[in-house]
C-alpha cells in the first residue's frame, strides 16, 4: 500500500488526509511541534506520528516508517516548513510536495529538497496538482 505522510498544522491537513484515503493510501500525519500536538491528536487520533521537534528525531522516525510521499503544507513559519522539508528529504521520502501560497518561495523549497512545489491557496486546489505526482496504482 502506498504510504503518504501529511505535514500540516492547520485544517488543511484534514482535506489531504481525506483525499489520500479516497485514493486508497495509508496516511499518517506528522506531529513534531508541541504547540499543535493536542489539536492534531483530536483531529487524527492514532494516525498521528508523534516525534520530538529535533531534526535528527524527525529523520530517524520518518526513515523507519518508509513513506513513499509527503505533502508539506506551508505553515505560518515558512522557515520551519523548509527545515521539515529538508529533514524529510534526508529521511529518504521519495516524493516531497510542498504547498505554498507564495510563488516567490519555490526556489527555497527546491533547495531544501522538495521534489515538487505547488502554488495554491486551498487544499482542494493543491490536490488537483498533487494528484498528478502520485502513482495511478494508489486508487481505492
As a whole number of Å, the end-to-end CA separation of the chain is 10
Record the cell numbers describing residue 19, joined without a space. 483525499
pLDDT of residue 140: 47
| CATH class belonging to 3-132 | alpha beta
**Cell 489520500 sits at which residue?**
20
Q: How far apart are CA 98 and CA 107, in angstroms?
A: 11
Three-state secondary-structure class, residue 60? helix
Max Cα–Cα distance, the chain, nearest Å: 36
Q: Give Cα separations from 22 to 18, 27, 97, 131, 132 (angstroms).
A: 6, 10, 18, 12, 15
Q: Residue ranges per domain, the chain? A: 3-132
Give the model confidence (pLDDT) of 11-58 as tens digits: 999 999 999 999 999 999 999 999 999 999 999 999 999 998 899 999
pLDDT for the residue numbered 59: 96
pLDDT value at position 136? 61
The answer on pLDDT for 6 being more than 50 is yes
pTM strictly above 0.85: yes
The pLDDT score that the predictor gives to residue 134 is 80
pLDDT, position 130: 93
Amino acid at each position: 500500500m502506498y504510504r503518504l505522510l501529511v505535514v500540516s498544522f492547520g485544517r488543511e491537513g484534514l482535506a489531504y488526509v481525506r483525499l489520500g484515503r479516497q485514493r486508497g493510501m495509508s496516511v499518517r500525519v506528522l506531529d513534531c511541534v508541541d504547540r499543535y500536538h493536542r489539536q492534531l491528536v483530536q483531529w487524527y487520533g492514532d494516525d498521528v506520528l508523534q516525534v520530538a521537534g529535533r531534526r535528527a528525531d524527525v529523520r530517524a522516525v520518518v526513515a523507519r516508517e518508509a513513506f513513499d510521499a509527503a505533502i508539506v503544507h506551508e505553515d505560518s513559519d515558512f522557515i520551519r516548513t523548509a527545515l521539515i522539508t529538508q529533514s524529510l528529504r534526508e529521511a529518504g521520502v521519495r516524493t516531497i510536495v510542498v504547498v505554498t501560497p507564495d510563488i516567490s518561495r519555490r526556489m527555497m523549497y527546491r533547495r531544501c529538497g522538495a521534489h515538487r512545489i505547488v502554488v495554491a491557496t486551498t487544499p482542494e486546489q493543491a490536490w488537483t496538482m498533487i494528484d498528478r505526482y502520485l502513482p495511478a496504482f494508489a486508487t481505492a
